[in-house]
Amino acid sequence: MLSDPERQAVTHFLHMEARLADEARYAEWLALWTDDGVYWVPATTDPGADPEKHLSHIYDNRGRIETRVKMLQSGFRYSQEPASLMRRLVSNIEIDRAENGELVAHSNFILAELSVQAKHEMHWWVGRMTHRLRRVDGALKMCAKKVVLVNAAEPLPNLTFLL
């Protein structure tokens, strides 16, 4: 069982992470990751997807997460230049404790992205997230984030904002 303060801390983390992503606060978002962080966006909704056998949209280790952020900060990431305007809702949060003590949060999200790089178009993104969180020096950090889009296997427009 999770204590109420733990539950509140995880919920707060998910809401904060969503806000930092929405507002393109890249450095603060990057600081939420542990050094062994893995950021995974499968290209299928198949629960049996294996990133060592199947192509993913994103399967970043910490180094690649940093590359992703640096590109967004460079001013030349034209697929996010200017940055999309975004707001997302995170809901249906369920939290478990893994055997190693890490906290595992499952949630659903809806994200409205106004893409403003060529045509101004609203894109709706919907999916399920799994965060693995660990305390590092007292603060919660992400050591894994998996995002399964409902349309993961469909033709997708640019997905270079922070999902």
Partner 1 sequence: MSRESGAPVRYDALVRDDRIHASLYTDPRIFADEMERIFHRGWVFVGHESEVPRAGDFITRPLGMQPAIMVRGSDGHVSVLLNRCMHRGTMVCAAERGTARTFACPYHGWTYDLNGDLLGVPYPGGYDASFDKSARGLARAPRLASYRGFVFASLSPAGITLEEHLGKAVKLIDRSCDLSPEGDIELTAGWVKHRCAANWKTLPENDSDGYHLGFVHRALFNTVRSQYQSVVGDERTIKAVVRDWGGGHIEIDWSPGYQGRFEWFGGAPESLVADYVGRMERRYGSARAQQLIFEGPAHALIFPNLFLGETNVAIVQPISVDECVHWHTPIFWKGVPEFNSRLLRQSEAGMGPASFLMPEDLAIAARNHAGLQAQHVEWLELSRGLNRETMDAEGRLVSHVTDETINRALWKHYRTVMTSA
User: Which residues of the chain form contacts with partner 1 (CB under 8 A)?
Assistant: 41, 43-44, 51-59, 64, 67-68, 70-71, 74-79, 81, 117-119, 153-160, 163
| Closest distance to partner 1 from the beta carbon of 51 (Å) | 7
Q: Which is nearer to partner 1, 9 or 71 (CB)?
A: 71
List all residues 6 or more positions away from 113 whose beta carbon is below 8 Å from its beta carbon: 84, 85, 86, 122, 123, 124, 125, 161
List all residues 6 or more positions away from 95 whose beta carbon is below 8 Å from its beta carbon: 2, 6, 7, 10, 11, 103, 104, 105, 106
Residue carrying the six token digits 């393109």: 24
| Closest distance to partner 1 from the beta carbon of 42 (Å) | 9
Task: Sort strands 33-42 and 85-97 into parallel, antiparallel or unpaired.
Answer: unpaired
| Closest distance to partner 1 from the beta carbon of 45 (Å) | 12
| Closest distance to partner 1 from the beta carbon of 18 (Å) | 18
Q: Which is nearer to partner 1, 47 or 155 (CB)?
A: 155
Q: Which is nearer to partner 1, 84 or 107 (CB)?
A: 84
- CA distance linking residue 106 with residue 20, whole number of Å: 19
Q: Which is nearer to partner 1, 14 or 43 (CB)?
A: 43
